[in-house]
Amino acid sequence: MKKYREGDFGLCPRALCDGQPVVPAGLHDEWKKSEVKVYCPKCQDVYAPASEYQTPTIDGAYFGTTFPHLFFLTYKELEPAPSTLLYVPRVFGYKIHNKSENRRRLAILAKEGADEEKTQQQRRTLTGARRKGEASSTVDASSSRVKKRTKQEA
């Protein structure tokens, strides 16, 4: 806990995280699969440690894939609020198109947040469409009755 607070494991390289301390994490639980990485709790991403903290002799399996999450479950007061700022890449003031390779990561992150909202919106739309469908079918039925009456009267 002290090492985390003092930033002994390094700071997040992302500019919008404002120097958030990171915790070590492994990408695999098996030995000799990957070196140790660092996890930023603010942007919730994994990075290679800065060169001053990088030691190729430390295997990521020492920390495992669950260490950051267990750490913040244990010390809830240390977990920062997730970053609400999204970096929008621009070239000469113009936004880069969403399908650009540089925007894929941002699109994935935005999609994760939008999926929940989209699901709720689809539910509302389907419910509204069902109600409209029921209303239009009753209107269609009543108009066909009127047509039948006019044909019979003629």
Quick one: pLDDT at residue 49? 86
Cα dist. 95→89, 91, 98, 111, 112 in Å?
6, 7, 9, 18, 21
Look at residue 32 and tell me if it is in a domain.
yes
DSSP structural state of residue 47:
E
Look at residue 95 and tell me if it is in a domain.
no
Asked if residues 44 and 69 have their Cβ atoms less than 8 Å apart, the reply is: no
Tell whether 147 and 73 lie within a shared domain.
no
Quick one: pLDDT at residue 66? 93
Quick one: pLDDT at residue 24? 93
What is the domain extent for residue 55? 2-85
Read off the tokens for 7: 């930033």
Average pLDDT for runs of 10 along the chain of length 154? 89 91 93 90 89 72 91 92 80 80 62 61 58 51 51 54
pTM of the entire predicted model: 0.58
Give the contacts of 88 (CB within 8 A, at least 6 positions apart): 95, 106
Quick one: pLDDT at residue 89? 80
Look at residue 92 and tell me if it is in a domain.
no
Q: Which of 61, 85, 109 is the last residue of a domain?
A: 85
Tell whether 110 and 148 lie within a shared domain.
yes
Q: How many separate domains does the chain show?
A: 2
What residues are paired with 46 via a beta bridge?
39
What residues are paired with 40 via a beta bridge?
45
Look at residue 96 and tell me if it is in a domain.
no
Look at residue 94 and tell me if it is in a domain.
no
Taken in order 125, 131, 132, 134, the sign of the CA dihedral is positive
Quick one: pLDDT at residue 92? 93
Tell whether 73 and 119 lie within a shared domain.
no
Quick one: pLDDT at residue 138? 47
Tell whether 16 and 55 lie within a shared domain.
yes
DSSP structural state of residue 60:
G
